[in-house]
């Protein structure tokens, strides 16, 4: 009985001991799990943690990510940031700002530039070069990075033996000396100097002895033995050449090109080499071009950069880029007849089919860029203004050739001037030119598909529409007469009054080989084209029509020839 009781007690004790051990192990496990709200522990029910911690997507407290979603901080887990920031390379950045993504048009704010889709500071020390290859002051672009260049000779200290002397560049030859002799040294491409060629043997035997030594650029000088039995430095160098033998000189030429010349063994320059590395345009030039534009004839602006290469900018357009000049008044209050008309870009029919002269065939579609044209023929008074300025010369003083010198003819078209005088006037009058034959004909006929024979239509002119030889009062008259017979574009007197000088050289067969875009017959010539019928011409005799009537004129003076000016954006348009 006692033995049974003992076994029972021991068994109970053993069971109790197991329970105690289990409780102890459980307590140890709880101590190893981080407390709620602490680092690595479970988040509080409201999704928060202790200070400095935050709750992640697994409901575990982690270290708080400072500036998350803010400028310069990491992006949120869903690759977003606080507005208006964007997630760029896992960092929140301002679009267009420094180190941020470029705008969709590859631009950035301020002076930042878009490089590899990133807005980057450029042009400063140890930053990328600007997109045009330049850097700021006293910097040079080397291998895509701006490096210090204090003397602005185009070389950084890594390649410049003396960054404070812009005459010292790689391969430059400069004078050097030993204690007793003169020599030269060469700047190496790695920015180090070659060994000085000056003789370092300075001992001599007879004080006062003189000798001749080489110096400078193939020159010579006296050298004296000093009382210390050492040769003194040479005296003044005599009979030097113009350069150091073996040296090379480079200069700019042409369109951003360079040329070089070598100094020969007698210290005289060889001839310059041919200009190489030229660009295609004059740096800084801004002009219009039809390249890559549709419809044919439309233009866009382009600029020539610092390396003489074209930079295209802007979109193609067909209207005149500025407003036409309007009529003004003279000091006496009368009309100055300086108004311009814009002729938009586009196609038109040039030439005739079964009418007009053979020299206006075949008819074909021609495309012109936009241009301005005088609404009226140049008047005597307008031309006199140029004469008074000292730029133009007066018309020939002959009453049978011009009415310029008579009173009461201010508003009549000027005549009695040569083609050269007309060109000079247009250049003076705002840098303009005479219209080409194509420009004149389009201004008279109108745009495609018009094929009218006269400015107003196909009807043969009456004496209420024009003053021609069959009219009883035919004569030159004011430039604004017959307002009901203007052209499609509202231009006056294109069918009568005076024939009008054109820019083109005259070629009877010109229409057989005319170019389809902005044509001008510019062969070397002694006679030029004349368009429009003069007042003393009778179209019934020749069966001609004014829109396609062509004539040629040499350098003489004619009373029935005048002119009007054009502003062509493809010829000095900016």
Can you tell me the distance from the alpha carbon of 243 to that of 263, in angstroms, rounded to the nearest whole number? 6
Helix, strand, coil share of the chain (percent; to 5): 15, 25, 65
Tell me the C-alpha to C-alpha distance, in Å, between residue 146 and each of 123, 137, 138, 161, 299: 6, 10, 10, 18, 37
Of 240, 257, 275, the residue at which a domain comes to its end is 240
**Residues sharing a CB contact under 8 Å with residue 353, sequence separation 6 or more, in sequence order:** 361, 362, 363, 451
Residues 371 and 501 placed together within one structural domain of the fold:
yes
In a domain, 223, yes or no: yes
Residues 418 and 521 placed together within one structural domain of the fold:
yes
pLDDT of 9 reads 37
Can you tell me the distance from the alpha carbon of 470 to that of 226, in angstroms, rounded to the nearest whole number? 110
Residues 235 and 328 placed together within one structural domain of the fold:
no
In a domain, 220, yes or no: yes
pLDDT of 10 reads 38
Give, for all 574 residues of the chain, the pLDDT tens digit: 434 333 333 344 444 443 444 444 444 444 578 999 999 999 999 999 998 888 988 999 998 777 888 888 889 989 999 988 999 988 899 889 998 899 988 999 999 999 999 999 999 999 999 999 999 999 999 999 999 999 999 999 999 999 999 989 998 888 899 998 888 899 999 999 999 989 899 999 999 999 999 998 999 999 999 999 999 999 999 999 999 998 889 999 999 999 999 999 999 999 999 999 999 999 999 999 999 999 999 999 999 999 999 987 789 999 999 999 999 999 999 999 999 999 999 999 999 987 778 899 999 999 999 999 999 999 999 999 999 999 999 999 888 888 999 999 999 999 999 999 999 999 999 999 999 999 999 999 999 999 999 999 999 999 999 998 888 888 899 999 999 899 999 999 999 999 999 999 999 999 999 999 999 998 778 899 999 988 888 777 656 788 998 988 887 777 779 999 999 998 644 3
Can you tell me the distance from the alpha carbon of 25 to that of 170, in angstroms, rounded to the nearest whole number? 81
In a domain, 168, yes or no: no
pLDDT digits (tens, 9 = 90+) for 332-390: 999 999 999 999 999 999 999 877 788 999 999 999 999 999 999 999 999 999 999 99
Q: Which of 109, 107, 114, 110 is nearest to 128 (CA)?
A: 114
Q: What is the DSSP secondary-structure string of 447-515?
A: STT---SBTTBSSPPPTTT---TTSTT-S---TT--GGG--TT----SSSSSEEEEEEEP-TTGGGS--
Residues 205 and 353 placed together within one structural domain of the fold:
no
Tell me the C-alpha to C-alpha distance, in Å, between residue 225 and each of 211, 346, 411: 9, 88, 93
Residues 339 and 223 placed together within one structural domain of the fold:
no
Please state whether the predicted TM-score (pTM) of the whole model is above 0.75: no
Encode 5-50 in three state secondary structure.
HHHHHHHHHHHHHHHHHHHHHHHHHHHHCCCCCCCCCECCCCCCCC
Q: Which of 234, 557, 547, 244 is nearest to 404 (CA)?
A: 557
Tell me the pairing of strands 499-505 and 561-562: parallel
pLDDT of 541 reads 63
Q: Phi, psi (5° rounding) for residue 349? A: -85, 125
CB 523 within 8 A of CB 505: yes
In a domain, 374, yes or no: yes
CB 524 within 8 A of CB 460: no
Can you tell me the distance from the alpha carbon of 149 to that of 129, in angstroms, rounded to the nearest whole number? 14
Residues 231 and 322 placed together within one structural domain of the fold:
no
Tokens of residue 82, six digits = 């606080």
Of 209, 225, 240, the residue at which a domain comes to its end is 240
pLDDT digits (tens, 9 = 90+) for 41-78: 999 999 999 988 889 889 999 987 778 888 888 899 89
pLDDT of 144 reads 93
Query: 66: phi > 0 → left, psi -120 to 50 → alpha, else beta; which?
Result: beta
CB 220 within 8 A of CB 212: yes
Instruction: Identify how many contiguous H helices and E strands the chain contains and give both numbers.
Output: 5, 26
Number of domains in the chain: 2
Number of residues written out for the chain: 574
Residues 470 and 569 placed together within one structural domain of the fold:
yes
| CATH code assigned at 385 | 3.90.1580.10
- Note down the domain range covering 394: 318-574
Give the residue ranges of DSSP H helices in 298-457: 380-389, 419-428, 437-445
Encode 123-168 in three state secondary structure.
CCCCCECCCCCCCCCCEEEECCEEEECCCCCCCCCCCCCCCCCCCC
Q: Which three-class secondary structure state does DSSP give residue 295?
A: coil
Q: Which three-class secondary structure state does DSSP give residue 442?
A: helix
Cis peptide bond N-terminal to 84, omega within 30: yes
Q: Which of 446, 448, 474 is nearest to 539 (CA)?
A: 474
pLDDT of 308 reads 96
pLDDT of 15 reads 40
Q: Which of 403, 398, 401 is nearest to 380 (CA)?
A: 403
In a domain, 467, yes or no: yes
In a domain, 336, yes or no: yes
Looking up tokens 């740096």 gives 283
Element (H, E) at 319: none
pLDDT of 72 reads 84
Q: Which residues pair with 249 in a beta bridge?
A: 261
pLDDT of 31 reads 54
In a domain, 462, yes or no: yes
Of 206, 240, 274, the residue at which a domain comes to its end is 240
Element (H, E) at 456: none
Can you tell me the distance from the alpha carbon of 219 to that of 221, in angstroms, rounded to the nearest whole number? 7
pLDDT of 571 reads 66
In a domain, 422, yes or no: yes
């Amino acid at each position: 009985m006692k033995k049974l009781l003992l076994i029972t007690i021991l068994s109970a004790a053993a069971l109790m001991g197991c329970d105690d051990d289990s409780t102890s192990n459980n307590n140890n496990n709880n101590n190893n799990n981080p407390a709620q709200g602490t680092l690595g522990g479970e988040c509080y029910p409201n999704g928060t943690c202790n200070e400095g911690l935050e709750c992640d997507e697994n409901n575990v407290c982690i270290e708080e990510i400072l500036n998350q979603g803010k400028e310069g901080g990491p992006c949120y887990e869903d690759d977003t940031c606080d507005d208006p920031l964007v997630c760029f390379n896992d960092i929140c950045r301002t679009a267009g700002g420094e180190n941020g993504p470029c705008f969709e048009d590859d631009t950035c704010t301020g002076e930042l530039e878009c490089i590899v889709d990133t807005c980057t500071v450029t042009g400063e020390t140890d930053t990328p070069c600007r997109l045009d290859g330049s850097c700021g002051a006293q910097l040079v672009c080397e291998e895509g990075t701006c490096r210090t260049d204090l003397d602005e000779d185009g070389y950084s200290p890594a390649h410049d033996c003396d960054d404070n002397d812009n005459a010292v560049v790689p391969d430059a030859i400069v004078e050097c000396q030993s204690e007793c002799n003169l020599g030269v040294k060469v700047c190496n491409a790695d920015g180090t100097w070659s060994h000085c060629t000056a003789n370092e043997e300075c001992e001599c035997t007879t004080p006062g002895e003189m000798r001749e030594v080489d110096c400078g650029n193939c020159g010579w000088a006296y050298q004296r033995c000093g009382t210390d039995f050492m040769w003194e430095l040479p005296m003044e160098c005599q009979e030097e050449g113009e350069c150091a033998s073996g040296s090379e000189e480079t200069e700019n030429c042409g369109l951003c090109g360079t040329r070089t010349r070598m100094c020969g063994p007698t210290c005289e320059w060889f001839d310059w080499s041919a200009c190489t590395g030229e660009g295609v345009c004059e740096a800084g030039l801004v002009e219009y071009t039809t390249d890559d534009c549709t419809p044919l004839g439309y233009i866009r602006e382009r600029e020539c950069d610092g390396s003489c290469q074209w930079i295209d900018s802007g979109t193609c357009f067909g209207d005149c880029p500025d407003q036409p000049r309007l009529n003004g008044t003279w000091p006496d209050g009368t009309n100055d007849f300086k108004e311009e008309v814009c002729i938009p870009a586009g196609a038109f029919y040039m030439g005739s089919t079964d009418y007009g002269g053979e020299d206006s065939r075949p008819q074909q579609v021609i495309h012109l860029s936009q241009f301005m044209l005088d609404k009226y023929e140049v008047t005597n008074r307008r031309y006199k203004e140029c004469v008074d300025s000292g730029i133009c010369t007066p018309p020939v003083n002959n009453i049978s050739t011009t009415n310029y010198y008579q009173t009461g003819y201010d508003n009549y078209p000027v005549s009695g001037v040569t083609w050269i005088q007309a060109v000079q006037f247009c250049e003076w009058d705002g840098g303009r030119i005479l219209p080409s034959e194509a420009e004149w004909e389009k201004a008279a006929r109108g745009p495609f598909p018009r094929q009218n024979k006269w400015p107003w239509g196909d009807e043969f002119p009456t004496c209420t529409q024009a003053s021609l030889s069959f009219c009883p009062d035919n004569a030159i008259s004011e430039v604004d007469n017959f307002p009901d017979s203007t052209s499609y574009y509202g231009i006056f007197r294109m069918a009568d009054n005076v024939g009008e000088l054109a820019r083109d050289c005259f070629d009877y067969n010109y229409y057989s080989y005319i170019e389809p875009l902005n044509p001008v017959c510019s062969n070397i010539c002694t006679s030029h084209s004349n368009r429009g019928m003069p007042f003393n011409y009778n179209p019934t005799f020749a069966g001609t029509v004014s829109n396609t009537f062509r004539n040629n004129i040499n350098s003489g003076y004619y009373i029935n020839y005048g002119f009007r000016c054009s502003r062509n954006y493809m010829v000095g348009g900016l």
